[in-house]
Amino acid sequence: MLGAQTLREIMEQPEAWSAAIRSFDAAAPEVARLFQERSPDEVIFTGCGSSYYLSMTAAATFQKVVGLRSRAVPASEVLQFPGSVFVPGSRPLLVASSRSGTTTETVHALAIARRRGIATLGLTCARRSPLARGADICIISPKGHEESVVMTKSFSSLLLLGLLLATNHAGGVTLRRDLRRLPALGKRIVKVALNLTGDLGADSARFVFLGAGPAHGIAWEAMLKMTEMAQRPAVAYHPLEFRHGPIAVVGPGTVVVFFGTRAGARLEADLARDLRRHGATVVTLRDEWRGAEEVDVDVTLGVRLDDEARCLLYLPFAQALAYHRAVGVGLDPDRPRHLSSVVRL
Ligand code: F1P
Query: Which of these, 80, 111, 105, 83, lies nearest to 94 by C-alpha position?
Result: 111
Ramachandran region, residue 160 (left: φ > 0; alpha: ψ -120 to 50; beta: rest): alpha
Report which secondary-structure segment, H or E, holds 281.
Answer: strand 281-286
Ligand 1 atom 12: residue of nearest CA: 342
SS3 146: coil
Alpha carbon of 319 to ligand 1 centroid (Å): 15
pLDDT in tens, 286-342: 998 766 567 899 999 999 999 999 999 999 999 999 999 999 999 999 999 999 888
154 Cα nearest atom in ligand 1: 15
Alpha carbon of 124 to ligand 1 centroid (Å): 11
Alpha carbon of 263 to ligand 1 centroid (Å): 31
Report which secondary-structure segment, H or E, holds 121.
Answer: strand 119-124
Alpha carbon of 276 to ligand 1 centroid (Å): 34
Which of 123, 150, 341, 345 has the most ligand 1 atoms within 8 A of CB, as the residue to mutate?
A: 341
Which of 9, 48, 146 has the most ligand 1 atoms within 8 A of CB, as the residue to mutate?
A: 48
SS3 84: helix
126 Cα nearest atom in ligand 1: 16
91 with 41: CB under 8 angstroms?
yes
Alpha carbon of 334 to ligand 1 centroid (Å): 14
Alpha carbon of 292 to ligand 1 centroid (Å): 40
Own/partner pairs, 80-89, CB within 8 angstroms, 24+ separation: 82/112, 82/116, 85/44, 86/44, 86/113, 86/116, 86/118, 87/42
Beta bridge partners of 74: 47
Cβ < 6 A, ligand 1 pocket = 47-51, 98-100, 103, 106, 149-151, 228, 339, 341-343
Beta bridge partners of 281: 255
Indicate whether this model's pTM tops 0.75. Answer: yes
Ligand 1 atom 10: residue of nearest CA: 150
Beta bridge partners of 139: 123
341 Cα nearest atom in ligand 1: 11
Q: Tens digit of pLDDT per residue, the chain (345 long)? A: 899 999 999 999 999 999 999 999 999 999 999 999 999 999 999 999 999 999 999 999 999 999 999 999 999 999 999 999 999 999 999 999 999 999 999 999 999 999 999 999 999 999 999 999 999 999 999 999 999 999 999 999 999 999 999 999 989 999 999 999 999 999 999 999 999 999 999 999 999 999 999 999 999 999 999 999 999 999 999 999 999 999 999 999 999 999 999 988 889 999 999 999 999 999 999 998 766 567 899 999 999 999 999 999 999 999 999 999 999 999 999 999 999 888 899
Alpha carbon of 26 to ligand 1 centroid (Å): 26
Q: Which amino acid is at 99?
A: R
Cα–Cα distance measured from residue 224 to residue 235, given in angstroms and rounded to the nearest whole number: 9
